[in-house]
Chains A and B, each alone.
Chain A
């Protein structure tokens, strides 16, 4: 993975500033339905960034992300609500994130030692064990039917449709609009932190561990500690994401936090591009919004039945699953670097393409005619 030199100066900040202004203005124009989709996407993005720190940063595969989302969600719901201690919401949120971190830390005897697919399947166990606990610890989780989530309040300002009544520029601000800004702030924080982790000393250490554990150890990187630490940080991101999802849903049930959710998160980061924070956000938006948008426009799409039509055709939920599966296969087949890889492949404006690629194109010869002889031959390529 090539490190890019960070650009500085006003020109580099401008696109970000524009994006932030746009995102802040959206609640003035969009309906609550779209804001809810955006809210879920933002919550998912925070979780995906966390998983990306683990999988993309250190090369560890985790299928247990749904478990840590659940810890965050139920942690917040219990700490802030009844039954539970009924703590102030911001404190409950922070404690829920810490709780997810502790859960990740408790798993460190496994996450520090077990590698590759072994870790992937070991974390699979967390999802099933977590589900079992969620169903049986009814005092905390409410059992199969789940529990309600206390609304978020900050310094007397409630993130619900009332208390206090609020309208900005003639647009009444309900729960979705208010939570949108909360989500945006938390996503910004998560993005900023993750970028700094990846670009700073820990990020380089993690990349060294990913590329070769032995070489990293020789260079003085405490491998097991960094692997566990990455797991803890990723769990904390998941906890924050889970708490935000709980706030958006207002009611959480155990069945939501199943293996499918874990797989969705894995798909997000791979679709977006492993190791890239922006990619994780893009992947999260894609995976979260696709089924919801398809359901919304089911009646205008060809071949898709309306929900509840009962025909032999393909329902919107199924259509979304087909598209989702096909997107995973096709994106990875043709762009193994994910969506971010697609963007980066196009040369930046003002930079010339590599001379070797552009020279044969001048005289009209196919550009790749010369490449087989140029390309270093590799035993794997010739055999497969």
Chain B
């Protein structure tokens, strides 16, 4: 029983980190229709900056600075590269983000090399015991902070001008522009926010019991892809639901690996994709996605 609860908590913690990344995908997709492949390297950038800065500045200032810097870089990617391109060519913009990802990732991987960096988080390898279950404090912190941040972002969607503009732009770019929505600004802010979320996700990905920041940490974003798709790409609550589903699935597949050994080793890594395929077969637009109505 404790193992089942353990696995579930693990899955929720993992899911909450996926949710931060997946929410970034969804925000950028809503604002510009682009699938941001650079999210993984933005995450790595945030983690790297925190790791480099925390010894001099202390943990919290380093984290805040890293989050701000990553947001700035993401915003600049939009301003400098994607601005002025025909926004209807989603394919081309999506591939451009792949180019950005390659550039960022190569540079960061060169700097990190084979090292394992620590981010200097205050939780270390402490554990909490809740109702007979022992969990690392970092996992609890991960769930708490994610819930707070995601709640804030959802509130921003509903109650700020930017959120309203974003929702209008994702409904119909042209109509939104005619109503005075400054699409360029909405999009840059969306990119910056997604960058900030990715940088924050880096912290919880590398905290105990994970070993630390490696050059491959950014690949986690590849698992947030199915999370975002699964819930419906244009739906933030869908991204949340998808992330939790993916996180729990992965934890279950890894936790019960010995019982599932007939399906091969390393099943935890592919289980999210299996779940996604099954969901897409039943609902091609994701769990909470809306079917697009087409006018001719």
- Whether the pair B89, A328 counts as a contact (CB closer than 8 A) is no
- Whether the pair A329, B100 counts as a contact (CB closer than 8 A) is yes
Residues of A within 8 A of B276 (CB): 121-122, 125
Interface residues of A in 292-331 (CB under 8 A from B): 314, 318, 321-322, 324-329
Across the interface, name the chain A residue whose C-beta is closest to B178.
A379
Closest CB-CB distance, B257 to chain A, in whole Å?
Answer: 13
Residues of A within 8 A of B103 (CB): 321-322, 325-326, 329
Closest CB-CB distance, A52 to chain B, in whole Å?
Answer: 12
- Whether the pair B222, A124 counts as a contact (CB closer than 8 A) is yes
Interface residues of B in 173-207 (CB under 8 A from A): 173-174, 177-178, 181-184, 187
- Whether the pair B281, A110 counts as a contact (CB closer than 8 A) is yes
Q: How far is the CA of A120 from the CA of B280 in the complex (A)?
A: 12
- Whether the pair A118, B184 counts as a contact (CB closer than 8 A) is no
Residues of B within 8 A of A121 (CB): 35, 225-226, 228-229, 276
- Whether the pair B99, A332 counts as a contact (CB closer than 8 A) is yes
Residues of A within 8 A of B58 (CB): none
Is A129 on the interface with B (CB-CB < 8 A)? yes
Closest CB-CB distance, B217 to chain A, in whole Å?
Answer: 16
Q: Of the listed stretches B6-14, B124-132, B152-160, B262-270, name the one at the interface; the rest are far from the partner chain.
A: B262-270
- Count A-B contacts at CB 8 Å: 146
Helix, strand, loop or mixed for chain A's interface? helix
Residues of A within 8 A of B90 (CB): 116-117
Q: A-facing mask of B253-279, CB < 8 A → 1, else 0?
A: 000000000001111011001101100
- Whether the pair B280, A122 counts as a contact (CB closer than 8 A) is yes
- Whether the pair A318, B95 counts as a contact (CB closer than 8 A) is no
Q: How far is the CA of A129 from the CA of B94 in the complex (A)?
A: 23
Partner of A336, one of B92, B94, B177, B183: B92
Residue among B29, B90, B229 with the highest chain A CB neighbour number at 10 A: B229
- Whether the pair A380, B87 counts as a contact (CB closer than 8 A) is yes
Partner of A333, one of B85, B184, B264: B85
Size of B's binding interface in residues, CB under 8 A = 57
Q: How far is the CA of A125 from the CA of B106 in the complex (A)?
A: 24
- Whether the pair B83, A384 counts as a contact (CB closer than 8 A) is yes
- Whether the pair B266, A132 counts as a contact (CB closer than 8 A) is yes
Interface residues on A, range: 35 or more
Across the interface, name the chain B residue whose C-beta is closest to A330.
B99
Residues of A within 8 A of B177 (CB): 379-380, 382-383
- Whether the pair A118, B285 counts as a contact (CB closer than 8 A) is yes
Q: B-facing mask of A348-384, CB < 8 A → 1, else 0?
A: 0000000000000000000000000000000110111
- Whether the pair B106, A322 counts as a contact (CB closer than 8 A) is yes
Closest CB-CB distance, B5 to chain A, in whole Å?
Answer: 28
Is B148 on the interface with A (CB-CB < 8 A)? no
Partner of A328, one of B98, B281, B296: B98
Q: How far is the CA of A124 from the CA of B37 in the complex (A)?
A: 12
- Whether the pair A135, B266 counts as a contact (CB closer than 8 A) is yes
Across the interface, name the chain A residue whose C-beta is closest to B230.
A121
- Whether the pair A384, B84 counts as a contact (CB closer than 8 A) is yes
Q: Of the listed stretches A41-49, A184-192, A207-215, A237-245, name the one at the interface; the rest are far from the partner chain.
A: A207-215
Is A229 on the interface with B (CB-CB < 8 A)? no
Is B56 on the interface with A (CB-CB < 8 A)? no
Q: How far is the CA of A384 from the CA of B265 in the complex (A)?
A: 49
- Whether the pair A384, B184 counts as a contact (CB closer than 8 A) is yes
Residue among A118, A259, A274, A326 with the highest chain B CB neighbour number at 10 A: A118
- Whether the pair A336, B89 counts as a contact (CB closer than 8 A) is yes
Closest CB-CB distance, A307 to chain B, in whole Å?
Answer: 14
- Whether the pair B270, A132 counts as a contact (CB closer than 8 A) is yes
- Whether the pair A117, B106 counts as a contact (CB closer than 8 A) is no
Q: How far is the CA of A370 from the CA of B90 in the complex (A)?
A: 30
Closest CB-CB distance, B265 to chain A, in whole Å?
Answer: 7
**Contacts A109-B281, A212-B296, A328-B102; is A117 near B184 (CB within 8 Å)?**
no
Residues of B within 8 A of A122 (CB): 229, 276-277, 280
- Whether the pair B99, A125 counts as a contact (CB closer than 8 A) is no
Is A24 on the interface with B (CB-CB < 8 A)? no
**Contacts A110-B280, A122-B280, A129-B270; is A136 near B265 (CB within 8 Å)?**
yes
Residues of B within 8 A of A215 (CB): 296
Is B294 on the interface with A (CB-CB < 8 A)? yes
Interface residues of A in 4-56 (CB under 8 A from B): 55
Residues of B within 8 A of A318 (CB): 106, 110
Closest CB-CB distance, B294 to chain A, in whole Å?
Answer: 5
Is A199 on the interface with B (CB-CB < 8 A)? no
Closest CB-CB distance, A182 to chain B, in whole Å?
Answer: 31
Residue among B99, B264, B296 with the highest chain A CB neighbour number at 10 A: B99
Closest CB-CB distance, B161 to chain A, in whole Å?
Answer: 16
Q: How far is the CA of A348 from the CA of B84 in the complex (A)?
A: 28
Across the interface, name the chain A residue whose C-beta is closest to B226.
A121
- Whether the pair A128, B273 counts as a contact (CB closer than 8 A) is yes
Closest CB-CB distance, A369 to chain B, in whole Å?
Answer: 19
Q: How far is the CA of A132 from the CA of B110 in the complex (A)?
A: 28
- Whether the pair A383, B95 counts as a contact (CB closer than 8 A) is no
**Contacts A121-B225, A121-B276, A322-B106; is A380 near B174 (CB within 8 Å)?**
yes
Is B286 on the interface with A (CB-CB < 8 A)? yes
14 A-B pairs (CB sep. < 8 Å): A61-B94, A117-B90, A118-B286, A131-B270, A215-B296, A263-B98, A318-B110, A322-B107, A328-B96, A329-B96, A379-B178, A380-B87, A380-B173, A383-B184
Extra inter-chain contacts (5) besides given A125-B273, A333-B81, CB under 8 Å: A121-B35, A136-B265, A267-B99, A328-B96, A384-B187
List 6 tightest A-B contacts by C-beta distance, closest first.
Answer: A328-B99, A136-B264, A325-B102, A125-B273, A325-B103, A329-B99
